[in-house]
Amino acid sequence: STPFCTPLSLTLSLVLFLNTTASTVVPLAIAPSPRVSSLATCVGKLVLGTYIAKGAKWMHYTLLQSFVCVVLVLWPHDIIYAVHEACAAVAWPAVWWRLRDQSSGLWMACMSMRLGSTVGSLLFYSCNWPVTSWLWGAAYVLLWSAALLYRFVPHQSTNYSKNILRQFTSPTLWILACAHAGSCWIRAAERSGIVLRYIQGLGLSDIYAQALGTGTACGLLVGGRWFWTGRPVRVVQYMYALAVLSCFLLSWTKTPWYFSVLALGGLGAGTAVPFYTIPSLSKSVYVAYLDGLGFGLASYVQADWYLVGLALIVCGVIMVEYVDHWERSQKLKDEERHGVLETSVL
């Protein structure tokens, strides 16, 4: 593995933190439709992610994000917000391209993205500022992100195949996208305000909506390191089991409020590694396409915790099988590297 901290990984993690912080407060301030948010992310990942793979600069989309925040001050419409969300969707694919061969760098970038989302939502729930203040602040932070990209991150042309769209004929992409849709719905629920409305329905303060984000950060911090240093299959099994149990607990209408808050934290922790870490394992499937299809499928899932829990069971089975296959392939590569010849029967 490459060193944990390199100048490139530190810079990209800082830019990703700033970008995610700004991109988190915008949907909370605008309160868009959950389906619009998921579909905009889907389009951004699939369309703009393709241009990122072919050499487009992330800085240009960050500048466009900043400009759209200013437009939202004048015209807060779902269509304008969709443009912002589509541009924000290319942040992770752009970082993945530069750090895809550095497992430590990717983990640090994941933590920066998660921390940015947590800080953004915590600021929004803690400060009672007008909507225009949040939008102007997001535009300013995004400008700083673009300046850091321009100054410290030199553009690097990609050597990706020109036939990138052929990935849509890959069964692996569609199977993983269906399994990825479960954790994508949880992420969309956090960003679009579904969790906030659920918490307010219990008569609680907005600050309790941070339980999902805090749980996700803890799950990524603990489970992410355990995933890379321990037994990946066992980690994924435990996390999906925690997420499913949390969904069933949230679906029970008589659940006390403190159990609901704990269940939201468990739901975030249970979907942290499946959402942030597993999609970056495959080098043959472009992570933007996997996320895009996952959010597209998640946009058709209704806000029913019981149905989401049932869907997560299916998603968990597929993801566990995929991680098991990936772990076996990694062991075979290590054995071949050390000159050990074995016969593997699938």
Q: What's the pLDDT at 229? A: 79
Angle at 146 between CA 108 and CA 293, to 5 degrees: 60
Instruction: Name the residue with higher pLDDT: 320 or 205.
Output: 320
1 pLDDT band, cuts 50/70/90, is: very low
Is a pLDDT exceeding 70 seen at residue 342?
A: no
Q: What's the pLDDT at 160? A: 60
For 314-332, what is the mean pLDDT? 88
Q: What is the pLDDT of residues 263-296, one digit of tens each?
A: 999 999 999 989 988 887 776 677 888 899 999 8
Is a pLDDT exceeding 50 seen at residue 345?
A: no
Q: What's the pLDDT at 162? A: 56
End-to-end CA distance of the chain: 28
87 pLDDT band, cuts 50/70/90, is: very high
Q: What's the pLDDT at 2? A: 45
Average of per-residue pLDDT values in the chain: 84
Q: What is the pLDDT of residues 29-66, one digit of tens each?
A: 887 887 888 889 999 999 998 888 888 889 999 999 99
Instruction: Name the residue with higher pLDDT: 21 or 105.
Output: 21
Q: What is the pLDDT of residues 125-179, one digit of tens each?
A: 888 889 999 999 999 999 999 999 998 888 766 656 556 667 788 888 888 888 9
Is a pLDDT exceeding 50 seen at residue 183?
A: yes
For 3-8, what is the mean pLDDT? 70
Nearest Cα to Cα of residue 237 among 332, 330, 346, 318: 318
Nearest Cα to Cα of residue 61 among 91, 82, 38: 91
Yes or no: say if 100 and 280 are a contact pair by the CB < 8 Å rule.
yes
Residue entry with tokens 């933190």: 17
Nearest Cα to Cα of residue 42 among 254, 336, 289, 212: 289
For residue 278, give every residue at least 6 positions away whose Cβ sits within 8 Å of its Cβ, in sequence order, or none. 180, 236, 319, 322, 323
Q: Give the DSSP letter string of 226-252.
A: HHHHS-HHHHHHHHHHHHHHHHHHHH-
Q: Which of 87-91, 215-219, 253-257, 330-334 has the lowest mean pLDDT?
A: 330-334
Distance CA 139, CA 65 (A): 7
Q: What's the pLDDT at 85? A: 92
Angle at 183 between CA 137 and CA 303, to 5 degrees: 85
Percentage of residues in the chain having pLDDT higher than 90: 30
Q: What is the pLDDT of residues 297-322, one digit of tens each?
A: 888 776 688 888 998 999 999 999 99
Residue entry with tokens 């225009």: 132
Q: What's the pLDDT at 144? A: 94
Q: 33, exposed or middle or buried, with CB in 10 Å at 0-12, 13-18, 19+?
A: middle
Q: What's the pLDDT at 161? A: 53
Is a pLDDT exceeding 70 seen at residue 340?
A: no
Percentage of residues in the chain having pLDDT higher than 70: 90
Q: What's the pLDDT at 157? A: 64
Distance CA 52, CA 61 (A): 10
Q: What's the pLDDT at 328? A: 86
Nearest Cα to Cα of residue 274 among 247, 251, 243: 243
